[in-house]
């Protein structure tokens, strides 16, 4: 073509070429400028494309740890985006959500959080539909500012749009964990676990979540739930020594020394140089297997794991029968480490060997520490041994009573209700002190209300006799509780009123009277007592939840109900009943997405605690029905009916039939 044009010399051909040129000019006119910064024919999207390419280059450089190269590319990306936005402005077009998001990312990577936040806000405002990427970008900006509170607020503000998103739930759980707000962290990790189990079984967060829930439940004193999650994690990550040791610690606290030894021996097998597991095993042998303890300490000596000083050194001395100077050393160790139980047990053993006159003092103190550390079996063993030594001596009646009272308390915590009652009766038979006798009778009446004994009438009888001798507000309160459990609500109200008359500033008395008034359908009295409870105790989350839920049920004061329940949840975010109540308030306000968010929190928390509440499931069914989703509605109604102990909820059965009919039409 180029050669042909060069050799044109025929007139006809020249005219023909000119004609073709004119036609081409009409067919393809001179290109217009899309932007003053660009050559004609070049669209403004050229700058956007170059910006994206530079950003990709920057991220690759970051991954390759070439920070200077990355910095230059992010700056170029910003420059190209600035030009793109100027071009768009010339055409009267605002920055798009995409270009604003890209610019926010660039500024964030360069550490300019002010501009990063401004551009992320613009991206959010221009987005036709908010994406989770924009929200997470804003969270990252707040994190770069080292503001964990604002980072959390960013995610929580828009969580209702992404209620089952694993990334959101994980990030919230992790942020609250970093802030050491364990209850809030537990709420989100539990919800994430719920989502993983039902929607995303192969989630990348599955075992991270299991470990986090193990830690959180341990911190919040749910040891058995903690064990469940740590074992799930341990089933895959078998060599995580930290988790194995934590499992050993939990079982130690629960008094299950056999299981604790199981995990400690695993650690010793996997890591023969481990010191902590070996020393903890030594304590267990000392506390729970004294007959073989000398052999284990000999093993530790062979492994050169007996330190020059410290508790293990002292225990080693005791199990080997060398007691010279040991009492003073143990006392010094206890003074320096008052929270340790094992040295107190060692000192008690030494006191028994030496027939120390302070033996019973040491016994009471050691048993108390064991009890406080929930070592109820150990505490019971210590107390029984001390009591046996007392029975050999006369004239120690009140000391015997004190022993029996503590023995009963240990038996109660172990769920040995009948044994606990027998010990308390024995203490009562021995006691000659009237004040002590009244306290013991109160404890006995209380014990008859525990477990599955169903002996409320017996409790009422004991308290009635006691009240004739010595009217006391706590005795009226307990009898009121007994009447409540018997369904005698009017008598319950009378007793709570007597207690209030004698002690008008006790918030608990008003709360329990409110419960009785509620059973009697006396709303105004119920409302008044709950308000009084809150005024006396501004942190009475149970009263806030109760009153907020009542308002929602009766369609009264919706804003106040919302305020009350949000305050209750701020105090106990991982309480399933409170989350259920707030979900129900949102349902009443027809804010169905918020209702689902909190009701799903409630369902997941209840399941985590080992029970499934039929009320929560019915509420979920009601919300789905309101959202015109009858399939999910009937599923939750049936689940509610299956979990209802009565299984004869006529109203619920009627709902199921009505919705199934709707589905079939």
Give 510-567 pLDDT, tens digit per residue.
999 999 999 999 999 999 999 999 999 999 999 999 999 999 999 999 999 999 999 9
Mean pLDDT of 6-25: 42
Return the percentage of the chain with pLDDT > 70, whole number: 94
Mean pLDDT of 124-148: 96
pLDDT at 393: 60
The Cα–Cα gap between 451 and 412 comes to 9
Candidate from 37-41, 76-80, 134-138, 387-391 with smallest mean pLDDT: 387-391
Question: Would you call 645 helix, strand, or coil by DSSP?
Answer: coil
Beta carbons within 10 angstroms of residue 645's beta carbon = 6
Beta strand spans in 257-357 (E): none
pLDDT at 391: 67
Cα separations (Å) of 472 from 42, 176, 421, 450, 506?
Answer: 92, 45, 22, 21, 13
Mean pLDDT of 313-317: 95
Q: Give residue 442's Cα distance to chain centre.
A: 35
The Cα–Cα gap between 480 and 495 comes to 5
pLDDT at 201: 80
pLDDT at 646: 64
Per 3-state DSSP, the chain is made up of helix, strand and coil in percentages (nearest 5) of 75, 0, 25
Cα separations (Å) of 601 from 135, 166, 188, 608?
Answer: 21, 14, 8, 11
pLDDT at 647: 58
Token duo for residue 662: 């709707």
Residue pair 58/77 in contact (Cβ under 8 Å)? The answer is yes
Q: Where does the pLDDT of residue 424 fall: very low under 50, low under 70, confident under 90, or very high at 90 and above? A: very high
**pLDDT winner (highest mean) among 31-40, 358-367, 488-497:** 488-497
Query: Does residue 161 surpass a pLDDT of 80?
Result: yes
pLDDT at 133: 96
Query: Does residue 502 surpass a pLDDT of 80?
Result: yes
Mean pLDDT of 485-510: 97
Return the percentage of the chain with pLDDT > 90, whole number: 83
Candidate from 237-246, 588-597, 643-652 with smallest mean pLDDT: 643-652
The Cα–Cα gap between 177 and 439 comes to 43
Which residues, including other chains, have CB under 8 Å from residue 448's CB and lie 6 or more apart?
421, 455, 456, 458, 459, 462
The Cα–Cα gap between 489 and 494 comes to 9
Q: Give residue 176's Cα distance to chain centre.
A: 10
pLDDT at 651: 85
Mean pLDDT of 488-503: 98
pLDDT at 454: 84
Candidate from 139-148, 302-311, 330-339, 642-651 with smallest mean pLDDT: 642-651
Report the b/e string of 162-188 with b at 16+ CB within 10 A.
bbbbbbbbbbbbbbbbeeeebbbbbbb
Q: Tokens 């926010």 sit at which residue?
A: 104
The Cα–Cα gap between 245 and 267 comes to 7
Q: Tokens 């975010």 sit at which residue?
A: 573
Residue pair 348/367 in contact (Cβ under 8 Å)? The answer is no
Mean pLDDT of 360-364: 93
Token duo for residue 394: 């006369």
Which is more confident, 490 or 201? 490
Q: Where does the pLDDT of residue 26 fall: very low under 50, low under 70, confident under 90, or very high at 90 and above? A: very low
Query: Does residue 273 surpass a pLDDT of 60?
Result: yes
Token duo for residue 317: 């001395």
Residue pair 45/53 in contact (Cβ under 8 Å)? The answer is no
Q: Tokens 């994430």 sit at which residue?
A: 192
Beta carbons within 10 angstroms of residue 430's beta carbon = 16
Residue pair 97/123 in contact (Cβ under 8 Å)? The answer is yes
Residues 306, 308, 314, 317: is their CA dihedral positive or negative?
positive
Task: Give 131's DSSP letter.
Answer: -
Token duo for residue 127: 């987005």
Query: Does residue 11 surpass a pLDDT of 70?
Result: no
Cβ burial of 585 (10 Å; 0-12, 13-18, 19+) is: buried
The Cα–Cα gap between 618 and 599 comes to 10
Question: Would you call 64 helix, strand, or coil by DSSP?
Answer: coil
- Nearest in space to 246 (alpha carbons), one of 259, 605, 289: 259
Indicate the average pLDDT of the chain.
Answer: 92
The Cα–Cα gap between 320 and 383 comes to 25
The Cα–Cα gap between 303 and 11 comes to 110
Which is more confident, 465 or 30? 465
Residue pair 577/607 in contact (Cβ under 8 Å)? The answer is no
Q: Where does the pLDDT of residue 395 fall: very low under 50, low under 70, confident under 90, or very high at 90 and above? A: low
pTM comes to 0.86
pLDDT at 175: 98
Which residues, including other chains, have CB under 8 Å from residue 334's CB and lie 6 or more apart?
340, 343, 344, 347
Token duo for residue 401: 């009573």
Mean pLDDT of 131-145: 97
């Amino acid at each position: 073509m180029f050669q042909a044009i060069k050799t044109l010399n025929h007139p006809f051909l020249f005219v023909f070429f000119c004609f073709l040129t004119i036609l081409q000019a009409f067919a393809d006119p001179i290109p217009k400028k899309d932007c003053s910064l660009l050559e004609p024919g070049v669209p403004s999207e050229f700058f956007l494309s170059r910006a994206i390419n530079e950003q990709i280059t920057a991220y690759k450089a970051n991954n390759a740890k070439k920070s200077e190269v990355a910095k230059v590319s992010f700056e170029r990306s910003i420059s190209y985006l600035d030009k793109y936005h100027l071009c768009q402005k010339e055409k009267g077009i605002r920055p798009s959500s995409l270009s604003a998001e890209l610019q926010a990312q660039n500024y964030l990577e360069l550490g300019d959080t002010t501009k990063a936040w401004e551009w992320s806000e613009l991206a959010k405002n221009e987005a036709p539909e908010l994406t989770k990427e924009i929200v997470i970008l804003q969270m990252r900006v707040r994190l770069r500012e080292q503001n964990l509170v604002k980072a959390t607020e960013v995610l929580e503000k828009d969580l209702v749009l992404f209620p089952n998103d694993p990334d959101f739930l994980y990030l919230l759980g992790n942020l609250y964990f970093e802030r050491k707000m364990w209850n809030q962290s537990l709420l989100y990790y539990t919800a994430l676990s719920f989502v993983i189990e039902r929607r995303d079984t192969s989630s990348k967060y599955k075992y991270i979540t299991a470990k986090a829930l193990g830690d959180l439940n341990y911190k919040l004193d749910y040891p058995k739930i903690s064990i469940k999650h740590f074992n799930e994690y341990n089933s895959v990550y078998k060599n995580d020594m930290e988790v194995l040791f934590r499992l050993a610690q939990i079982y130690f606290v629960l008094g299950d020394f056999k299981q604790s030894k199981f995990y400690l021996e695993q650690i010793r097998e996997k890591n023969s140089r481990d010191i902590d597991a070996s020393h903890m095993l030594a304590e267990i042998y000392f506390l729970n297997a004294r007959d073989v303890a000398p052999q284990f300490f000999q093993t530790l000596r062979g492994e050169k794991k007996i330190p020059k000083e410290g508790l293990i050194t002292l225990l080693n001395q005791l199990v080997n029968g060398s007691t010279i100077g040991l009492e003073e050393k143990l006392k010094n160790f206890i003074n320096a480490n008052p929270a340790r139980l094992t040295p107190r047990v060692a000192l008690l053993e030494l006191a028994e060997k030496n027939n120390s006159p302070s033996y019973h003092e040491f016994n009471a103190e050691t048993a108390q520490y064991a009890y406080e550390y929930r070592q109820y079996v150990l505490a019971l063993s210590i107390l029984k041994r001390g009591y046996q030594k007392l029975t050999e001596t006369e004239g120690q009646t009140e000391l015997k009573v004190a022993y029996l009272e503590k023995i009963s308390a240990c038996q109660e915590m172990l769920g040995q209700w009948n044994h606990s009652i027998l010990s308390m009766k024995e203490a009562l038979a021995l006691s000659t002190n009237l004040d002590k006798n009244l306290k013991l009778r109160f404890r006995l009446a209380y014990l008859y209300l525990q477990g599955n004994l169903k002996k409320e009438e017996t409790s009422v009888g004991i308290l009635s006799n006691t009240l004739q001798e010595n009217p006391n507000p706590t005795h009226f309160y307990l009898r009121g509780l007994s009447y409540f459990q018997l369904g005698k609500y009017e008598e319950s109200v009378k007793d709570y009123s007597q207690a209030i008359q004698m002690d008008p500033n006790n918030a608990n008395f008003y709360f329990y009277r409110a419960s009785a008034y509620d059973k009697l359908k006396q709303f105004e009295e119920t409302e008044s007592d709950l308000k009084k409870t809150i005024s006396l105790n501004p942190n009475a989350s149970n009263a806030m939840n109760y009153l907020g839920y009542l308002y929602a049920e009766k369609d009264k004061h919706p804003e106040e109900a919302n305020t009350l329940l949000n305050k209750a949840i701020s105090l106990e975010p991982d309480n399933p009943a409170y989350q259920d109540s707030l979900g129900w308030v949102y349902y009443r306000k027809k804010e169905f997405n918020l209702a689902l968010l909190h009701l799903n929190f409630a369902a997941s928390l209840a399941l985590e605690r080992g029970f499934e509440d039929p009320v929560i499931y019915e509420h979920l069914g009601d919300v789905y029905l309101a959202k015109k989703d009858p399939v999910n509605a009937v599923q939750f109604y049936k689940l509610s009916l299956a979990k209802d102990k009565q299984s004869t909820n006529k109203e619920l059965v009627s709902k199921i039939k009505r919705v199934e009919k709707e589905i079939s039409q």
